[in-house]
Structure formats: C-alpha cells, structure tokens
A and B are shown apart, each in its own frame.
Chain A
Amino acid sequence: MSGIDPGLLVTVLKRATALGATAADGFLVDERHFSATVRLGEVDTVTHSHDQRLSLRVFAGRASAAASTSDLSPDSLERVVGEATRLAKITAEDPHAGLPDPAELTASIPDLDLADAGGHDLSPEAKIDIARRAEAAALSADARVKNSEGAEFWDRQARYAYATSSGFAGGYATSSFGITASPVAAQNGEMQRDSWYTMARKRARLDDPAEVGRTAAKRAVRRLGARKVKTTEVPVIFDPETAASLVRAIAGAVAGPSLYRRASFLLDRLGARIAAPSVTIVDDGLRPGALGSRPFDGEGMATRRTVLVNEGVLESYLLDSYSARKLGLASTHHAARDGAGVTVATTNLTLQPGSARPEDLIGSVREGFYVTELIGFGVNGVTGDYSRGAVGLWIENGALAYPVEEVTIAGNLLDMLAGVDGIGNDLVLRDRTAAPTVKIARMVVAGE
C-alpha cells in the first residue's frame, strides 16, 4: 500500500513559486480513525472520523512562512498559498533558513512494513467486542475491581505525502491499532485507578485483550492501601513505563531547537560523559513494523539509526536541517512536521537493556522506592532540575512491601543520569519510546 498521490502537493508548490516563492515544501496527511469505548459491558462512545490536512512552507529568499488547511478545495488551497507567500514577505531574513540540499534527500523510500490494510477490515461490532473483552477481563480479575472508566479499541489508517519545489515527491501509508483498559479498584472507601495498553502497527501483533485487562486490574489493585512515607533520601527504581519518561526528557534536551535557544541542560555537552557507562540510548527509525518508524523525515531525508548516548557519552543531537545549520552541524534526519512548520521528533527511541533481572534490581535495595506512575510537569529542561509527583511501591529489605502515594521524587537529571546504578534486561518496545527498569542510586522522596 502506498501513500497518497503527491500530485495535489506538486500543483500547490507550483502555484507558490508562480506567486513569487523561491522555494516551498508541503506535507499532506489523510487519516481515518475509529474508536470504541465500552464501560461496564455497555457501549459508551463510538467515534468515526476522516481528516485531511495540507501544510505548506514557503520561502521568499531567506525569509519563510507556513500555512495549513483542512479544506482541500481549489479555492481554499489558492487562499492558503496566497497567505503563506504574503506572510513570507513580512518575516525577517534568516541566513539559516531553507530547504535541505536536494542531493541530501532520500534516493529511495524503503518499505518498512508499516501498514496493515487487512487489519482494519473488521466490523464496528467486532471492534467493540475487543474492547468489551478487555474490560470484562479487568472486571473479573479481582473482586476488588468494582468499577471502570472503560476499555477502548481504536485503529487508525494514515497516508502521508511530502513534496518539495526542488522536485522530491514521496509518500507512505501506516496503520496503528490499540487497546486500553482503565479499571477502578476499591476497598474500605478508598478508590484507585490504573490502566494498561497495547499498541501495534499490525492488529495481529496486539496483546490479547484479556491480558491487557488483567494487567490493568493487577496494577489498580496493587495501589490499594497506599500511604505517604516520611521524607527521606533513598535509591529509586523506575519501572519501564516511568523510565521511558526519563529517556523522553533527554531527547527533549538534545533536540536542535532546545540547543540553539540555549534552553537545554545538555548544551555544549556533545562528546562529553553525561551518564553512567551503563546508559546507551538509540533512536532507530528503520525498525520494520515499529510504531515510530518512517521511511523519511519531515524534510525528505532518509531515516537512520542514531546512537544518542553511547556508554554514557553524548554522541549525537537530534537535528533537522535548520537547527543543524544554526549549530554548524549536519542534520541527523529528525525533522517532523507540525502545523506551524518543521520541528524535531524521535522515531523508535530506546534505552538499551542491561543484564539485570528487574527483581534483582529490587532485591539490591534495602529501603527504596519503586515508581510506577509520575504526574505533573516538574522537569526544568534548562537546568535539569527534576521534581514530580510519584506513585509506586515501597521497597523493604529487597522486596516490594506496600503501595505509596502523595509523595514527590526530586533531584537533577544530570545527577540522576550519573547515578544510574543498574539497568534491567526487560526492554519491550510497547510505544515509540521505551526503556527497561532503571535503578538510580539516590533521590529525595518528599512525603510527611
């Protein structure tokens, strides 16, 4: 299955150059989405949608502007091209602005096996039934699971096309599928929710819905009886889901725009040790059938495998062509399109697994905190200062002892990375960004 015909884009780009643009590129997305939520066995919400969006970037010499529309009628496209070229005339010249050199654009578009045309071929009733099975498994997993925020099945088909006025035109298609269950456990007047999910590019690769429901139930039930702990400084172990958020924070700090704005705690650290030697972080956009894979980036440059951190040393930033030129480096092919133009995004980003079994990491801690959920936005990307609400289980004498809530964990990301004291062997690529269990030597837990 191929992408959408970039013909429409090519027409729009020609019109932009006719109106005075010196260069232009455009991105076209067409997506169909279905979602069914079931709650307490009954259908709750069913949503169908079909959306399209064309986004355009226009250059007038070294000045540029962007425009986008969901209305692909000829009149509307004519207006969008006009708006973008008009805006490009009022913006300031920027010596670093411009399309990538055509010679750098991808010569071929690899088939990364990202679509599952047949996978979408399921009646709404059958899709609803998948959600129903996930929720039923959660509700019957434990007598303490008494309520539910529901379970959802969704699928999404998307087609992308990209073209430049320099002659590049390419496209590709993707599929994605997901199941989420969000049960509520209750005991002695206390309520706790949690959730679990599965996502894949092929429907057949989703986890069994009943397994998703049971895992969600287990996660909700284990939070019952949660308490606050006394304020202390202890080893903290992040489960794979919360460890992935640390990897995202590092990716944000090495993204081109954060660096040229000097808004990063990893500024000027290329080639320097930023983490314990056990830490290796890889972004690999070429994994066949993976959620974060794409054949080319938002500027038509070939996707790659990039080692960001190699045994603790920062080896690469994440750059599009603009931030690369500003920093005097080469693009790492991480451009992505958003409505307002070009930004930087990772593909399949992972903290590479270590050799420790997660239970041995927990076993190595006399008193500590095993974190299973983080809330809030308390990460300062400029300084690395870190302070977030946390939920999890207290570790006593090497074993999970009781659930904990209403506490924060705090430190500085640089200290935390240097203090990585063990990495699990349990990496599973459940999402575009993933990590195994991570142990950090010491953090402050604030509670009573």
Chain B
Amino acid sequence: MVDLVRARPESFFADRFNITSSTIDRLLGSALRGKVDDADIYLEYRIIEELVLEEGAVKKASRHVSQGAGVRAQAGTRTGYAHTDDISIENLEEAARQARAIATEANASAVVAVQSGRPHDLYALAEAPIAADLTRKLDLLRAADQAARAADPRVRQVIASITSEDVIVFVMTATGWTVGDIRPLTRLNVTVIAEDGPKREIGTYGGGGRVAFDWFLEANRWQRFAREAARQAGLKLAAVDAPAGTMTVVLGPGWPGILLHEAIGHGLEGDFNRKGVSAFAGRLGQKVASELVTVVDDGTIPNRRGSLNVDDEGTPTSRNVLIDRGVLCGYMQDKLNARLMGMKATGNGRRESYAHPPMPRMTNTFMLAGDEAPEDILRSVKQGLYAVAFGGGQVDITSGKFVFSASEAYLIEDGQVTKPVKGATLIGNGPDALTRVSRVGHDLKLDEGIGTCGKDGQSVPVGVGLPTIRIDGMTVGGTQV
C-alpha cells in the first residue's frame, strides 16, 4: 500500500481508475464549449495514519483512506460543483452533468487557456513520513512521554501523537491542461496536564511540515517539543490573573504571527473583496499599516506545512506581497475571483478535499524582519503585556474585528518581563491594528508547523511567522480591571 505514495499522480489515477486525458474531453470538453468560463476535474487519494500515546503507552492507532473526484463548472459568478467518492466514469459523468447544470443559461465566453507555469518541487522526500517504520514512531512517542515527565515532576498526564498523511492530487482543466502533486505532511504533538495541589494546567506544543520522519530527530526536536509542553503547563500553574483593558502589547517571534493571519490575512482573500464584504475591500494602494510593516504570503518555502507545489486548481504557488511598507498591494486569489476581478491567480486556490470547491486561502503568511533587537523592544515598554504563545484566533471579515488567544504571556513592568499571566484573548480591528506597530525586531521566525485554518467549514494546513513586534494599544481580555 505504501508504494502507492511514490507513484506519479497521472499514472496513479490512470492505472487505478482508468481516467485519462480523453476522459476529460468527454466530461468537460465539447459539451461545455461556449457555455462556461472554466471547468475542471480534481482527483484525490489520501492516506492518513494517526498514532496516539496516552498513559505511557500507544493504545490508539488508526489508518484512513479516502478517494474521490470533484467536477466543477463556472460561468460568470456561478459555480456548479459535484463530487463523488466512487471514481468511475459513470459517476464522473453524473457529477459533470450536475456541475454543468449551472452553465446552461450562461452566455459565457469560451474557456480561455491560462498559462499556468511550472509547478515547484518543494517537498521531494527520500521517504514519505507515512512510510516510516511504525516501531520508530512508537519509540519516539514513548521517548517524548518520558521527556515531558522528566522535565517537570508535576506532569501528571502526557498525550503525544504523530499524524502522517500523503495526498495525491491530479487536476485536469477543460483546456486539456493537467498537473499532479504528491503532498506528504506530518506533525508531532505533545499535550501535558500538570498538577500542583488542587491546581491543574495544560501545556501543548508541537510541530511538523512536509518533511520526513527524521526531521523530528534532527537537533532533538521531539525532545524540545515535549519539554516546551511541560514548561508551559508548569508556568501556567504559577500564573496570575491577566490584566483587562487597552495596553501596549509585545508579541514574540514565530506562531504569534497568527495576528497577521486574522488581522489582515482573511480580509485580503479575493472572494471577500470581490463581493465587497471585506473591511479591506477597495483599499488597494492605501496605507493600512505602519511603514515598518511588510507582509507576504509565500506558498513556495521548501518543506513548510503551508507550502504547495501547485494549489488545488493547478496554479503554481508564489510569493505574494500583501502589504509593502504599510501600503496594501495585493490580494490572494483563486481562478474564479482572479477572473472576475481582472487580476492574476496567485496560487491560493485551495480546498480541504475533493468534497469541497476551492476558494482563496492563505499558505505561509508572515511579516518581514525589521532591525531592532528584541530586548530593546521589551525595554521600550513601561507597562504592558508580552505574549509569546497563542492558541487559535478568529476574525469577522466584514467588521474587521479579530481575536487571538494568548496561552503564554507575561506582564512587562518598567521594561522588564515579570510575572506570567493566565491566558487571555486579545482583540483588535484589522484595518487599524497594524498601523499601531511601532517597533519590529530582526528576529523573524516561522512557526513550528502546527497551523490549521478553517473557513466556510473547510480546514487546510497553513503557516505563519513574525519577528518580535510592539503594538501600541491593543485590548487584552483579562479579568484584572
């Protein structure tokens, strides 16, 4: 079974389901001429393996296979989408019929061939993580369990998991263009519960990417993840109530980049802007951040969780500058919204699986480094909050209001980092938050590879990154008035 994942996508689907380029013409070609603006078929085969350690032993192991095809036809702003998990010619014909129903009254131009360019080769691995020997994975989980317990005697429970997947995709467009991709992905996660008398706290840490299993062993990453989870839980046991109100906030490097994802990322996705429902709609060329701020979304970084050789419409990913020294200069686009807005598809058309139509999504979103030392940034704050680890975030695209929840944060008093505080939600206004960035560190870091973004019920893996930054005035949702 494992050998399947080394196959070439085109031959994989041809061998397995007898789907070839002549199939495409039959399903999408002649029947649609003059009736649609675009049409495509997306084939996907996915294997997921999950191993979970609890109470010192790996008691849960599971393996899941899914396969299916999505057929799409577009005319004007309309999309017809049909999918089936039974990839047979008859089912694809039925799906194509349903998808095409959308196009019958359309008076669209003929399908225009788009030069899509060459896909990247960002994650060719000697061995896919899902193919790595199970005993090595079990050993690593047990070692992570030991490391977390050794780090702090107050650790009472350790839940460690390794998830690995391999996804083979193949996209065929109505113009006869085809492209495939094989996407490995893995993640190690360690969660601990630490107890001190009646107090209990949780700490969680992890990482991964489109990397081989050995990545966890390099520089003892697995051990660092386990110790970090224990350290976070132990620290929170001693945390005091978080302050409430508007104050200066310093964000640490790496995962706190979730700020960018929520504050501006979603608001710059093409669909919301084409529809005029984003707080950033119509603001291209305007200043939306301090001139210290340059933000990019880059799907081309080798081996990153958010990277893709091609997006789920077959467009090669790219490095897109969203904000250049404070000025809004680009949206993230899929093919539909790019066509309707007269812009270029940027390689951001993504979908959770064959069961979902694609839409504009982020890849790896981060702020470029500035030139200040992180210590100097902290020293510049008289009274404020220093937040270095976060849970999830969420945004209301239309009003621009966003939140993200700190899981490790400290008070800053007279330029010194002092007491740890309990988790608190930070809230801000997207078009305004980045105008308050007054200092940017030289320490840009990308996150460890843990992000999953949800939109319209679809989850996709993403990355974020940030140098240390200072924001003058952000609302912190603590309980200390």
Report A's interface with B, CB cutoff 8 A. 39, 42-53, 63-72, 76, 79-80, 83-84, 87-88, 90-94, 97, 124, 147, 149, 184, 190-193, 223, 226, 228, 231-233, 261-263, 267, 339-341, 375-378, 380-383, 385, 387-389, 391, 405-412, 444, 446-448
A245 → chain B closest CB, angstroms: 13
Contact in complex: B102, A43 (CB < 8 Å): yes
A16 → chain B closest CB, angstroms: 14
Asked if B78 is an interface residue, CB under 8 A from chain A, the answer is yes
Q: Can you name 30 A-B pairs with beta carbons within 8 Å?
A: A39-B77, A42-B76, A42-B77, A47-B83, A50-B85, A51-B68, A52-B85, A53-B66, A65-B63, A67-B63, A68-B63, A68-B65, A72-B86, A87-B63, A91-B58, A91-B61, A193-B277, A262-B156, A340-B60, A377-B391, A377-B393, A378-B405, A383-B422, A389-B425, A391-B396, A408-B476, A409-B477, A410-B244, A410-B479, A446-B477
Contact in complex: A66, B61 (CB < 8 Å): yes
Report the Cα distance A178→B228, complex, angstroms: 44
Asked if B428 is an interface residue, CB under 8 A from chain A, the answer is yes
Report the Cα distance A444→B60, complex, angstroms: 41
Contact in complex: A42, B78 (CB < 8 Å): yes
Contact in complex: B59, A67 (CB < 8 Å): no
Contact A92 to B58, CB < 8 A, known contacts A51-B85, A70-B66, A408-B477: yes
Report B's interface with A, CB cutoff 8 A. 1, 48, 50, 54, 57-68, 76-86, 91, 95, 98-99, 101-102, 134-135, 138, 156-157, 159, 193, 195, 200-202, 242, 244-246, 275-277, 279, 355, 357, 391-399, 401-405, 422-425, 427-429, 475-481
Residues of A within 8 A of B101 (CB): 46, 124
Contact in complex: A46, B79 (CB < 8 Å): yes
Given contacts A46-B79, A376-B404, A383-B200, 14 further A-B contacts (CB under 8 A): A48-B95, A68-B62, A70-B65, A70-B85, A149-B277, A192-B398, A193-B397, A231-B481, A263-B157, A389-B425, A405-B399, A407-B475, A444-B481, A447-B245
Residues of A within 8 A of B202 (CB): 263, 380-383
Residues of A within 8 A of B246 (CB): 231, 447-448
Report the Cα distance A406→B476, complex, angstroms: 10
Residue of B nearest to A265 (CB): B200
Residue of A nearest to B85 (CB): A70
Contact in complex: B276, A147 (CB < 8 Å): yes
Contact A377 to B392, CB < 8 A, known contacts A383-B201, A389-B403: yes
A412 → chain B closest CB, angstroms: 8
Return the contact of A90 from the options B54, B64, B135, B401 (Cβ within 8 A).
Answer: B135
Residues of B within 8 A of A76 (CB): 65
Report the Cα distance A341→B54, complex, angstroms: 15
Report the Cα distance A224→B237, complex, angstroms: 41
Residue of A nearest to B393 (CB): A376
B80 → chain A closest CB, angstroms: 5
Report the Cα distance A193→B25, complex, angstroms: 42
Residues of A within 8 A of B399 (CB): 190-193, 223, 226, 405
Residues of B within 8 A of A376 (CB): 392-394, 403-405, 425, 427
Contact in complex: A48, B392 (CB < 8 Å): no
Contact in complex: A340, B425 (CB < 8 Å): no
Contact in complex: B77, A406 (CB < 8 Å): no
Residues of A within 8 A of B77 (CB): 39, 42, 44
